[in-house]
Amino acid sequence: MSADGFPDTPLSRRAFLRWGMAAGLGLAWGALFAGGCSRLFQSPLEAAAVDQVERWVYSTCGFCGIGCAVWLGVKGNRLVAVKGVAEYPVNRGLLCVKGIYQFKVVSVPGRAEYPLLRRGSAWERVTWDEALDKVCNAFRRYLDRSHADSLAIYHSSQILLEEDYILAKLGRGALGLRHFDSNSSLCLSSAVEGYVLSFGSDGQPVSFPDVEKADCLLLIGTNMAENHPILFYRLVRAVRKRKPYVAVIDPRRTPTAEIATRHLAVRPGTDMDLLKAMIQVIITEKLFNPAFVEAHTKGFSELAERVRKYTPESVAPRAGVGAEEIREVARAFGRSTAGLIAWGAGVNQSTEATATVNLINNLCLITGNVGRPGTGPLSLAGQCASLSVREAGGTKTLPGMRPFDDEGARRELARLWGVPQDRFPKKTASFPSETFKAIEEGKVKALWIIGSNPAVSMPDTNRFKAVLRKLDFLVVQDCYRDTETARFAHVLLPAAMWAEKDGTFTNSERRVNLVRKAVDPPGQAKPDWAICVLVAERLGFGSLFRFRSSEEIFNEWRRVSAGTIPDMSGMTYDRIRRLGGIQWPCPAADSRGTARLYATRRFPTKDGRARLLIAPAKKTATPNDEYPFLLLTGRILQHWLTGTKTRRIPEVRAEVGVPFVEISPDDARRLGVRNWDPLHIESRHGSVTVRARITTRVVPGQLFYPFHFWTLPANLLIPLATDPLSGQPDVKRIAIRVRRGELGEP
């Protein structure tokens, strides 16, 4: 414990400023191109003991959805360095700081090494047999009792494609679970639903080179500079070379906004108004593409009618940006020859997220910006396996992105798996919007969490902890034993992590690449796929799970994916390695993959046309007399999600070790708060006291709280409110009041 009452290494102000300057200034033009003076893209040699490396193992970065290829430097059974793969098309040898430092998250204290059973408040080390007996006896009890609706699985976009796939086979095909979901439900299920409704299927249509080829880019609710740094680096280079028009739509002046031609500091929660106004301008000024609209879309006249009243003048006061600025951005997009829209969590995490994604898709569709180089709607996938989990049935679709309620697809999947078709549940449930409440109501009694830390990442932290306590039986399967969620578990199963197992990840541009085992897992930890096989065998489904390696699972998956949108039937591990990753669809052994979807302009809807959808905007969090400020949550460069990995990297803890909130100089002055003073923040749902970081990155009236801080989660302040179409919660914005506080104050 530090003097602050925070159980973390206190952050020195100097260190903090250094990071801040690196992230901010270092991202400005000069520094980026001066070559390596930015901490964002520092030399791999700086952090690693490269001279000790005995062998290098090819793999993919285990953090974000950009999917950079890495060489893992190994000495004995330890990872000692990571460096970029020079010839890999995504990163060409570059890595961001997360990528470089990740060798430090593997051999660290806190790893889960042995199966543990809860005995009162203590853990008891047991054998795998004892642990699995306990788990499977419990599961069997719940399965017998109520047709699988009282058992739930919640898994992850941070395990391998192969693991996501066999979990779906177990969850849906063997156990017939309705309550089967992954953390993509907090991350990008709105993007999935938006794609499904507009285009007829999930599947991100764009390739990274399109970001470099576009002559107009809109970046909405994404801080690409800090969260997808290598793609940002590629964008910055293209900006310098080709000078495209870039609009950044974000309430904060992020490092991403530093490169914008126009930064629209939109009022949080008003993106729908803004997008409607842009569509209105494009339609009234006849900047749309009538031939494309006529031939490939449905719903144009209704769209035109419904956006009519959204003039830039009428929207501007609500959205907090000038009418002329809206018009300028709309015209730039309408007149461009290649327009691309990339978006992130600022869009996906809202109660009207799916409807917002549909408007983004509309903008691309009415201007004919789909299926050509440099165009399209690009949902930036968050985690290393965010796409994998979507391919493999970890969202509201069945494996192969098969529609959940399509009888033909169910029949085909049942045949491929050799299970009766009526085994599949009739309905699916989103974890945050349905399973959460089903546990609260006592309907779901047992939960198996694999590769997620929802005690910090789920909204309404205290309510969710009560949910975990209410469970009769909780199994947590994680690579660390000390996560906040593990504290509630009855059984802890130790998982091997990235660099300790073989398999694949699919990145944001549908590129599948190998993830390789470089070192042995600690103690008795096993890969998630191997644990899944053991559970399946004990539950009597061994014949469906005769897998001895990830590659065998991948080979079954290739058959299951054949003919679907994410068709990988033409891939093998060997081809993936030789070709430097392969983008699906890859339907034949001689296919080199597909750069972008919808090149034929035929969409996977019944009539082959994309839908132009428009919904009314809903009320989102707005400040009021009692709670006059708005708090935004999101990420910073140094930390990863709930910090389970990055809290173990000494360099990160030295730089960002205590929770802080960003506040504008004006608000700080008014509240009598100096830099680094304690600030008490209170919403209707909870309160925290954290340090104030005064910065012009946020505008007066708004504060920004990174959600990584596991000791004081931002989610303590945020109630559970979900998008009705995707089930994804709004964890981004909440009305708060603020005053100078005392450290340690609740």
Helix (H, G, I), strand (E, B) or coil at 114: coil
Nearer to ligand MGD, 12 or 622 (CB): 622
The nearer residue to ligand SF4, 44 or 115, going by C-beta atoms, is 44
728 binds, among ligand SF4, ligand MGD, Mo ion, none (CB under 5 to 8 A by kind): none
Among 102, 150, 395, 642, binds ligand MGD (CB under 6 A): 642
Least distance in Å: CB of 295 to ligand SF4?
38
Of 41, 37, 53, residue with least CA distance to 84 = 41
Site string for ligand SF4, 214-233 (x = CB under 6 A): --------------xxx---
Distance (Å, whole) CA 318 – CA 276: 13
CB of 276 to ligand MGD, least distance (A): 14
> Could you give the C-alpha distances from 86 to 35, 83, 572, in angstroms and in order?
16, 9, 22
Which residue type does 484 have?
E
Interface with ligand SF4, residue 63, by CB under 6 A: yes
Helix or strand holding residue 457 (H, E)? helix 454-457
Q: How far is the CB of 118 from Mo ion (least distance, A)?
A: 29
Quote the least distance from Cβ 187 to Mo ion, whole Å. Answer: 3
Q: How far is the CB of 507 from ligand SF4 (least distance, A)?
A: 8
Return the number of the residue (280 or 349) whose C-beta is nearest ligand MGD. Answer: 349
- For residue 91, what are its two tokens? 């990163």
**Contacting residue, 24, 44, 67, 244, with ligand SF4 by CB under 6 A:** 67
Q: Quick check: 48 binds Mo ion (CB under 5 A)?
A: no
Stretch that binds ligand MGD, among 218-226, 232-240, 303-311, 436-444 (CB under 6 A): 218-226
Nearer to ligand MGD by Cβ, of 176 and 686: the residue is: 686
> Which of 96, 471, 673, 736 lies at the binding interface for ligand SF4 (CB under 6 A)?
96
Residue 497 makes contact with ligand SF4 by CB under 6 A: no
The structure tokens 């541009």 sit at 509
Q: What is the largest CA-CA distance in the chain?
A: 70
Question: Which window, 99-107, 181-189, 264-272, 546-554, contacts Mo ion (CB under 5 A)?
Answer: 181-189
Size of the site for ligand SF4 (CB under 6 A): 14
Using DSSP's 3-state secondary structure scheme, residue 511 falls into strand
- 508 is a contact residue toward ligand MGD (CB under 6 A): no
Which one of ligand SF4, ligand MGD, Mo ion, none is in contact with 67 (Cβ closer than 5 to 8 A by kind)?
ligand SF4
Q: Pick from 468, 508, 454: which is nearest to 207 by CA? A: 508
Contact indicator for 715, 459 with CB cutoff of 8 Å: yes
Which of 96-104, 260-268, 414-422, 515-523 is the region at the interface with ligand SF4 (rule: CB under 6 A)? Answer: 96-104
- Torsion, CA 682, CA 685, CA 687, CA 688, rounded to 10: -120
By CB under 5 A, name the one of 203, 229, 382, 678 that touches Mo ion: 382
Of 58-66, 275-283, 529-537, 578-586, the window that binds ligand SF4 (rule: CB under 6 A) is 58-66
Give yes or no for a contact between 238 and 338, defined as CB atoms under 8 angstroms apart: no
Which one of 383, 388, 569, 689 is in contact with ligand MGD (CB under 6 A)? Answer: 383
Determine contact, residues 573/167, Cβ cutoff 8 Å.
no
**Binding ligand MGD by CB under 6 A: which of 194, 200, 312, 344?**
344
Q: Does residue 515 interact with ligand SF4 by CB under 6 A?
A: no
User: In the numeric block, which tokens belong to residue 644?
Assistant: 């389970």
Could you tell me the CA-to-CA distances from 415 to 164, 346, 408, 410, 411 in Å, in that order? Answer: 20, 40, 11, 8, 6
Sign of CA dihedral 288, 289, 291, 295: negative
Judged by CB under 5 A, does residue 456 bind Mo ion? no
Q: Quick check: 401 and 184 in contact, CB under 8 A?
A: no
CB 160 within 8 A of CB 503: yes
- 104-107, Cβ contacts within 8 angstroms, sequence gap of 24 or more: 104/648, 104/649, 104/650, 104/651, 105/497, 105/645, 105/646, 105/648, 105/649, 106/78, 106/79, 106/497, 106/498, 106/499, 106/500, 106/519, 107/78, 107/79, 107/519, 107/522
In whole angstroms, give the CA distance from residue 493 to residue 471. 17
- If the CB atoms of residues 403 and 729 are measured against Mo ion, the closer one turns out to be 729
227 binds, among ligand SF4, ligand MGD, Mo ion, none (CB under 5 to 8 A by kind): ligand MGD
Site for ligand MGD in 148-167 (CB under 6 A): 156, 158-159
Cβ nearer to ligand MGD, comparing 467 with 632: 632
Region 420-459 residues binding ligand MGD, contact defined as CB under 6 A: 450-454, 457
- Site for ligand MGD (CB under 6 A): which residue of 32, 72, 220, 246? 220
Check binding of 95 to ligand SF4 (CB under 6 A). yes
Among 97, 187, 455, 610, binds Mo ion (CB under 5 A): 187
Query: Using CB distances below 5 to 8 A depending on partner kind, what does residue 159 bind out of ligand SF4, ligand MGD, Mo ion, none?
Result: ligand MGD
64 vs 688, which CB is nearer to ligand SF4?
64
DSSP class of residue 39 equals G
* Contact range with ligand SF4 by CB under 6 A, out of 36-44, 61-69, 111-119, 553-561: 61-69
Distance in Å, CB of 505 to ligand SF4, minimum: 9
Cα dihedral 408, 413, 418, 420 sign:
negative
In whole angstroms, give the CA distance from residue 688 to residue 738.
10
Give which of 482, 479, 492 is closest to 448, Cα–Cα.
Answer: 492
The CA-CA-CA angle for residues 198, 203, 207, to 5°, reads 110
Each as own residue / partner, the long-range contacts of residues 561-564 (CB below 8 Å, 24 or more positions apart, any chain) are 561/391, 561/399, 561/400, 562/587, 563/400, 563/587, 564/400, 564/401, 564/402
Helix H segments across 12-127? 13-24, 29-34, 44-47, 97-101
| x/- map, 475-494, Mo ion, by CB under 5 A | --------------------
Q: From the list ligand SF4, Mo ion, ligand MGD, none, which binds 99 (C-beta under 5 to 8 Å, kind-based)?
A: ligand SF4
Contact predicate 702/735, CB 8 Å: no
Draw the binding track, 7-46, toward ligand MGD (x: CB under 6 A; -: no contact).
Answer: ----------------------------------------
> Contact between 637 and ligand MGD (CB under 6 A)?
yes
Sole window of 7-15, 201-209, 313-321, 340-348 interacting with ligand MGD (rule: CB under 6 A): 340-348
Residue 499 backbone class (left: φ over 0; alpha: ψ -120 to 50; beta: rest): left
Task: Give me the residues paired with residue 248 across strands.
Answer: 219, 263
3 state SS of 553: helix
Distances (CA, A) of 461 to 182, 502, 685, 731: 18, 34, 10, 11
Q: How far is the CB of 164 from ligand SF4 (least distance, A)?
A: 18
Contacts of ligand MGD in 62-81 (CB under 6 A): 64
Task: At 174, list the tokens.
Answer: 């063997």
Among Mo ion, ligand MGD, ligand SF4, none, what does residue 68 contact (CB within 5–8 Å per kind)?
Answer: ligand SF4
Give the number of C-alpha atoms closer than 13 A to the C-alpha of residue 405, restricted to the C-beta side.
4
* 731 near ligand MGD (CB under 6 A): yes
Shortest approach of Mo ion to residue 383 CB, angstroms? 6
Residues near ligand MGD, by CB under 6 A: 64, 98, 156, 158-159, 183, 186-187, 220-223, 226-227, 249-252, 254, 266, 268-269, 271, 344-346, 349, 382-383, 450-454, 457, 477-480, 483, 495, 497-498, 528, 632-635, 637, 639-642, 644, 707, 714-715, 718, 731-733
Residues near ligand SF4, by CB under 6 A: 61, 63-64, 66-68, 91, 95-96, 98-99, 228-230
Residues near Mo ion, by CB under 5 A: 187, 382
